[in-house]
Chain A
Amino acid sequence: MYALTAALPLAYFSEFPQKFYDSFILKNRYTNIVFGLGNTLMITFFAVIIGIILGTIVALVKVTHNNDKSKLKFLNAVCSIYLTVIRGTPVVVQLMIMWYIVFQPPVNLDRVVAAIFAFGINSGAYVAEVIRSGIQSVDKGQVEAGRSLGLNQRDTMVKIVFPQALKNVLPAIGNEFIALLKETSVAGYIAIQDLTKGGDIIRSITYDPYTSLLAVAGIYLLIVMGLTALLGKLERRLRRSDNR
């Protein structure tokens, strides 16, 4: 109890209106949050798209190779290295390598673009493993039924296996994207003003850590809750065929 009152002095509550005014309204400081939120959402959105595309391609390569070891040997080796390196190193380090090494002149692009690529490539590795497990969870009788009708390997994968795999892994993919949204909070390492950095800027001006940082945490929480609800809806729609 003592620790709690020490951590959050009760006086804070009586001063809250003033603190709120100082943190957000005075000199339009709220724009730090709004601008940062914009960057966070933009980085997350495009990184998710890159992650899905990359993850799907890698998963398909790995599954195809697993089914027939003579196929796609080279691509499979490339994918394995990609998975090992990306999953074996911290995302912050990948982000800094992307900006301070890869995106240096003559590459003349915005640091937000660097962040989108870094987080997208990072996410792709995790999405790939999720999708691969989803594909392998589909009963092999489904493939046999498709092939016995004369469909080729590709059509069987696209029309029969993949839709079922996606349904199986949707919760896991959703988690991955929620994790990605929160991971972008390290974008400040390459001086991007994202939501977290925006709150931190306010904190460093006002010397009041409570108002700005708790507001930032609240905004992340609201977005995640919104995404969770959205994914639940999508999942229910995909589960339509399970309803008796």
Chain B
Amino acid sequence: MITVKNLHKTFQTLNGKLDVLKGINQNIEKGEKVVIVGPSGSGKSTFLRCLNLLEQPTDGEVWFEGVQINVPDCDINQLRQKMGMVFQHFNLFPHLTVLQNITLAPITLKLKTQEQAEQQAKQLLERVGLADKAEAYPVQLSGGQKQRIAIVRALAMNPDVMLFDEPTSALDPEMVGEVLQVMKELAADGMTMVVVTHEMGFAREVATRVLFMDDGQVVEEAAPDQFFTNPQNPRLQDFLSKVL
């Protein structure tokens, strides 16, 4: 479903060039739940953001559903409709109600009428237990509620894959569970997911494959039981000894 070939990303900074991604090759199949872990600054988020071209790769290829997306004549807006994204800081639209947040894209892109969009939004809100918040504004919600709304907003586009960029990192500890619960249900429904997270419990429980990134490269990848109980790479062993 997503294929990445020799992906490089270099940022221009005031101190010169910064190589964040140094040649990543990955193939993510439909239905997979890929969890990416690694120390901060290892390029996890940049990798994820290259998948829907929020970051333009410096070199390499990104393919989605049989189309290379990092070429100028590709209609990225069309493809992004099929790739939902959830951000660390939620990025809900503060000037719109919860319902409007969810229905904005489907209505603007003329994928649904307003009635259809609102009906679907209410069903999705029901599913994450926030049906009573439809008319609330984002500022009235807790962090966990905001992130669940952000997930619903992405789901309203009926995406084929969901990208999660540290979805629980900005949350108070007692709200992490409710967001992970929604993500687990999503995984159980068969959604293809790529998740950057520090939640090792989630990786162990939900992932079909765990990637360890360090210094712009995927250093190790394995099924979760293998990954956590029998890590091969010394850097991964070091990382796991610190976080587990």
Contact = CB atoms under 8 A, between A and B. Distances in A.
Interface of A: 139, 141-142, 144-152, 155, 159-160, 163-164, 167, 240-244
Q: Of A141, A146, A148, A160, which is in contact with the most chain B CB atoms at under 10 Å from its CB?
A: A148
Given A146-B105, A148-B87, 11 more contacts: A142-B93, A145-B87, A147-B54, A148-B154, A150-B109, A150-B157, A151-B77, A151-B109, A241-B138, A242-B139, A244-B140
Contact of A149 (B95, B138, B140, B153): B153
Contact of A152 (B77, B92, B138): B77
Contact of B54 (A144, A155, A163, A242): A144
Interface residues of B, number: 31
A74 to B, nearest CB: 22
B33 interface: no
Contacts of B81: 149-150
Given A241-B139, A244-B139, A148 B95 contact: no
A227 B94 CA distance: 27
B77 A145 contact: no
B108 interface: yes
Interface in B83-97: 83-85, 87, 89, 91-97
A149 B154 contact: yes
Contacts of A155: 108
Nearest to B137: A241
Contacts of B217: none
B104 interface: yes
Contacts of A147: 54, 77, 80
Interface string B132-167: 000001111000000000100110010000000000
A151 B91 contact: no
A150 B105 contact: yes
A145 B140 contact: no
Interface in B60-89: 77-81, 83-85, 87, 89
Given A241-B139, A242-B139, A244-B140, A148 B54 contact: yes
Contact of A164 (B95, B105, B108): B95
A217 to B, nearest CB: 39
B94 A164 contact: yes
B52 interface: yes
Contacts of B108: 151, 155, 159
Contacts of A146: 93, 105
A142 B80 CA distance: 16
Contacts of A240: 137
Contact of A163 (B78, B91, B95): B95
B153 A144 contact: no
22 contacts: A141-B87, A142-B91, A142-B93, A145-B87, A145-B150, A146-B105, A147-B80, A148-B80, A148-B84, A148-B154, A149-B80, A149-B81, A149-B104, A150-B109, A151-B104, A163-B95, A164-B93, A240-B137, A241-B95, A241-B137, A242-B94, A243-B139
A96 to B, nearest CB: 43
A241 B87 CA distance: 21
B164 to A, nearest CB: 12
Contact of A241 (B77, B83, B94, B109): B94
B92 to A, nearest CB: 8
Nearest to B106: A149
A243 B135 CA distance: 13
Interface string B115-140: 00000000000000000000001111
Q: Of A145, A160, A242, A243, which is in contact with the most chain B CB atoms at under 10 Å from its CB?
A: A145
Contacts of B157: 149-150
A165 to B, nearest CB: 10
A196 to B, nearest CB: 40
A241 B137 CA distance: 6
Contacts of B78: 150
Given A141-B87, A241-B137, A151 B93 contact: no
**What 5 A-B pairs are tightest by C-beta distance, nearest first?**
A150-B81, A145-B91, A149-B105, A148-B85, A141-B91
Contacts of B83: 148
A142 B150 CA distance: 12
A100 B154 CA distance: 59
Contacts of A148: 52, 54, 80, 83-85, 87, 154
